[in-house]
Amino acid sequence: MTDSLRLLLGAYHPVVIEGMGSYDPRDPAVVASRVSERLMSFWGQKPVQKPKLIVTQGDPLEARGISAITPRVAAQFGIPRGLVYLDEEIADYHLPNADRDNVILEVKYSQLADVLNDSRPGLMKSLEETIDYYIDTKNKKRKALGKTPLKDYFRDFALLQEVTKAACSHLCSGITVVHTSADINEFSVTSFYTVGLELGLVDRGEMVL
């Protein structure tokens, strides 16, 4: 399976855009333009030889937020998109609800998780334990602030986010990661990006800062 995915994804340079969901109050066209400018500047310093592929993670199309931003960035660069989605037994609504416009390939979460375990046995266990620790830490802080715990689905989507980047980087020998905002809420799924950095699964030099 790893070899077939390497053939499927390995021809591309994955681009992962992370940020707020539909609650993002900003104009997605303006945000997409700014993200594109930052990417252009970044690639001007670090040229990419492979064709680029914007890798999305199953967000349903909304008027604002990440699902409204990524297709605009793809259109500005004239590049296609790929989709990583949660397996049916994890979230049966995920693939059916995903925006699949301009998507040229689709990959299951479990396939990418297998890639990581094949590359380093026990890596998924370490990743899961680290995310569980982060969730516990965030929930303790939320409790002190009088807030309710993070929803259970945060674990699934934090894992999806970090497995997607780690496996794509491994299969494609590199990746570009960009956030739609420098102001990342500490209780958002995006905030778990530090897990990949902590475990060395994503190189800070691959991030557009």
Domain ranges, ordered by start, for the chain: 2-208
The model's pTM is 0.95
State mean pLDDT over 142-171: 97
Average pLDDT over residues 63-91: 97
Q: What secondary structure does DSSP assign to the chain, as a single string? A: -HHHHHHHHTTSEEEEEE---TT--S-HHHHHHHHHHHHHHHHHHS---SPEEEEE--PPP-SSSHHHHHHHHHHHHT--EEEEE--TTT-TTHHHHS--TTEEEEEEHHHHHHHHHHHSTTHHHHHHHHHHHHHHHHHHHHHHTTPPPPPTHHHHHHHHHHHHHHHHHHHHT--EEEES-S---TTSSGGGHHHHHHTTSS-GGGEE-
pLDDT tens-digit readout, 27-68: 999 999 999 999 999 999 999 999 999 999 999 999 999 999
CATH number of 2-208: 3.40.50
pLDDT at 2: 63
Q: Report the amino acid identity of residue 22.
A: S
What are the distances in angstroms from CA 114 to CA 60, 132, 145? Answer: 25, 19, 38
Amino acid 1: pLDDT: 55
pLDDT at res. 8: 82
For 159, phi then psi, to 5°, come to -65, -45
